[in-house]
Amino acid sequence: MATPKIIVIGAGVMGQGLAEAIASEGNEVLLIDKTMRLAERGVRGIAEAMDREITKWGLTESDKKAILARIIPSSDLTLADEAEIVIEAIPEDLEKKQSLFAKLDSLCPPDCLLITNTGTISISEIAAATERPEKIIGMHFLNPVTKIPLVEIVKGLKTDEETFEKAVAFAQLLNKEYITVNEYPGYVTTRIIVPLLNEAMHVLMEGVATAEDIDRAMKLGFGFNVGPLTLADMMGLDVVMSWMENLLRELSEHKYNPCPLLRKMVRAGHLGVKTGKGFFEYDEEGNKIKKE
Amino acid sequence: MKILVINCGSSSVKYQLIDTEQELALAKGNVARIGMSASVLTHKPYDRPETKVTAEILDHIVAIEYVVSILMSKNHGVISDRSEIQAVGHRVVHGGEKFTESVLITKELMSELRSLIELAPLHNPHNIRGINACMKTLPGIPQVAVFDTAFHHHIPDYAYIYGIPYLLYKKYGIRRYGFHGTSHRYVSERAAAMVGRPLSGMKLITAHLGNGASVAAIDGGVSIDTSMGFTPLEGLLMGTRSGDMDPAIILHIMAREELSLHEANTLLNKHSGFIGISGVSSDVREIIESANSGNKRAQLAFNVFCYRLKKYIGAYSAAMSGLDTLVFTGGVGENAPDVRAKSCEGLDYLGLEIDTEKNAAVKGEETEISSTDSRVKVLVIPTNEELMIARDTLRIVSEQVSQ
């Protein structure tokens, strides 16, 4: 079997979502992580996510089979030497991303679209690690990738027009609406949502209202699909904190200072849905456990 | 004339090469799993065994190229040069209000077809892809589009307008269009030939029962109503589709189960119908087997299906002020005597009675199954949409293309 032309690097939650979204649109995709075990765990994660979707009637067993058949796990980065599109979803860490892009720079064909999926890190800074900064672009997908119809396409300082056009075509391939963002810390979505989540945590910490009521107020009062504290739990409290720290470092503004309650919960390992406990409690399937 | 008939899906191409003089399919086959590294081409010449080819077929252009190549191949081919293909006929699902009959494909037409994508986002884009692929692979060969909706274009406004603000019809074209038109048209013409009367004087109901299923009321050769509506979801119960229901139900379920639009759509189109009610299968044969071995929910699904069909027969008899011929076609209509028997049960007040023995003995051929006393003739007619597409293509190319 030929190697797929689209590659996702990093088989965590974001990488899984990307691979599923790409395969759902009928494309084969290579899902790469450091070890085969991690990559295969990623594929299992995708299968489990699809099982949940089947119970909500969003998919059928045969859809699932067809989608999984298009996702090939691997630990061999050198397979990127014939790739047309490479998108990275490794942890939100500048050094790790720079080192990955330096490797990709030496491996990938010159016309390959190189995408970083970051919410807060500078595209230009990542691109600086390569000899082709004009070919690097950011595409900030939101979790869960298969359900959120938006992607932010982020131009680095040197990103050229051709690369941007390719990124637009990739967004369309995945059936996503896009907005164009000129690089600036936090772009649009992260920059606006993070202080809102932080403020909700302050309201909780100061004893103004219960977590349930804070979420209910924002859902009913402002038409949010999900309340802010639930949303933070879904994103992962460690992830929310790392975004805030990145924004704080870049912009040095007090409003990006993580709420002490958030710091405390991250230190205690209460990271939200993925650990079963955050502002609310969750079962193994990730469903909120309703308090009696 | 040798005509290539093409039916393009999202990742598949079905084809037949039809010799219109003998009305014979010289070869038929399909390409499956387009876009994958292991696509499969299945090809069957009329006089030789089936053959399969596995290859990397990344798009519809390559798929059509493979089809043309195998049609010309030494061992499996039926023509020696691509110039023998004199025209291409395409099945196009949605013709909107604009296309009321089959048309020769031109550049202008292509842009109009693209403007219809909004009405049939799941089908028309692939149909268009197939047309573009044939233009590339068979340049200069005339191509004709045959629409699933066209046969129903005479349906009167009081039958196609829904009871919602008229503005929505003007704004988004929300109305009944109906589908399976090519099949309903084919079997209605065959029915007239079988009973030896002109179609113009007949009151027909045609039931196309396959994985998707629809009924049409055909008065004097004209479709005056059909059970599928704005999309193929309405009407009869189907393999995985709900058919008719109270539209408030879906709003209620979406709220209670917190479903997204996508999830609600999949619920109605893929998790409903036979599979939804029975939990057993979307395939009527398996439903009947399971029902016969005592599975209550399979029996229920079967009963729901037949009851609805019977209601449509009654409704359309009323709509036409009479009925003289009922036709069953499609995989289920042609092969499931139980469905035909059950849905016609108790219709003797309409003058319709099935002969049990004839009904049980149907074997893939045009057969009359009504009893000798039955005033209404009941026929089983295997459908042949590809032949209908080839006939339309032949007619249009002969009339409109200067040789």
Q: Which positions of B are catalytic?
A: 148
What residues in chain B have per-residue pLDDT under 50?
A: none
Please name the member of A28, A56, A58 whose beta carbon is closest to the beta carbon of B36.
A28
**Contact by Cβ (8 Å): A112, A83:** yes
**Chain A residues with CB-CB distance to B37 below 8 A:** 1-2, 4, 28
pLDDT tens digits along A130-144: 999 999 999 999 988
**Contact by Cβ (8 Å): B151, B184:** yes
Interface confidence (ipTM) of the complex: 0.73
Write down the H helix ranges in chain A.
13-24, 36-55, 61-69, 94-107, 123-127, 161-173, 189-205, 211-222, 228-235, 237-251, 260-267
CB atoms A2 and B267 under 8 Å: no
Which residue is closest to B54 within chain A, CA to CA? A1
At residue B34, the pLDDT reads: 84
- Number of helices (H) and strands (E) in chain A: give both, helices first: 11, 8
CA distance A17 to chain B (A): 17
Instruction: State whether residue B270 sits within 8 Å of chain A by CB.
Output: yes
At residue B402, the pLDDT reads: 66
CA gap A5, B23 in Å, rounded: 44
Q: Set out the domains of chain A in order of their start, with CATH numbers.
A: 6-182 (3.40.50.720), 190-275 (1.10.1040.10)
**Contact by Cβ (8 Å): B259, A48:** no
Interface of A with B in 22-41 (CB under 8 A): 26-28
Task: List Cβ neighbours of A66 (8 Å cut-off, separation of 6 or more).
Answer: none
pLDDT for residue A113 is more than 70: yes
Instruction: State whether residue A55 sits within 8 Å of chain B by CB.
Output: no
Instruction: State whether residue A84 sits within 8 Å of chain B by CB.
Output: no
Peptide bond into A144 cis (omega under 30): yes
**Contact by Cβ (8 Å): A142, A17:** no
CA gap B328, B382 in Å, rounded: 8
At residue A292, the pLDDT reads: 57
CB atoms B259 and A56 under 8 Å: yes
CA distance A66 to chain B (A): 10
At residue A2, the pLDDT reads: 67
At residue B403, the pLDDT reads: 52
| CA R_g for chain B | 22
**Contact by Cβ (8 Å): A132, A111:** no
- Where do the domains of chain B lie? 2-147, 198-385
For residue B368, which of B196, B148, B131, B126 has the smallest C-alpha distance?
B196
DSSP string, B342-397: HHTTT-GGGT--B-HHHHHH--SS-EE-B-TT-SSEEEE----HHHHHHHHHHHHH
**Contact by Cβ (8 Å): B66, B58:** no
Which residue did the predictor score with more confidence, A146 or A1?
A: A146
For residue B230, which of B269, B181, B180, B176 has the smallest C-alpha distance?
B176
CB atoms B271 and A60 under 8 Å: yes
For residue A286, which of A55, A15, A65 has the smallest C-alpha distance?
A55
**Chain B residues with CB-CB distance to A27 below 8 A:** 35
At residue A77, the pLDDT reads: 94
Give the mutation candidate from A5, A20, A22, A57 for the B interface (greatest B CB count, under 10 A). Answer: A57
At residue B390, the pLDDT reads: 97
CB pairs under 8 A between A and B: 39
Do the domains spanning B2-147 and B198-385 agree at the CATH topology level? yes
At residue B328, the pLDDT reads: 98
Interface of A with B in 114-153 (CB under 8 A): 147
Instruction: State whether residue A1 sits within 8 Å of chain B by CB.
Output: yes
Residues belonging to chain A: 292
* Location of structure tokens 């595409």: A139
- CATH code for B198-385? 3.30.420.40
| pTM, 2 dp | 0.84
**pLDDT (mean) for A1-8:** 82
Instruction: State whether residue B261 sits within 8 Å of chain A by CB.
Output: no
SS3 of residue A278 by DSSP: coil
Give the mutation candidate from B12, B34, B36 for the A interface (greatest A CB count, under 10 A). Answer: B36
CATH class of B2-147: alpha beta
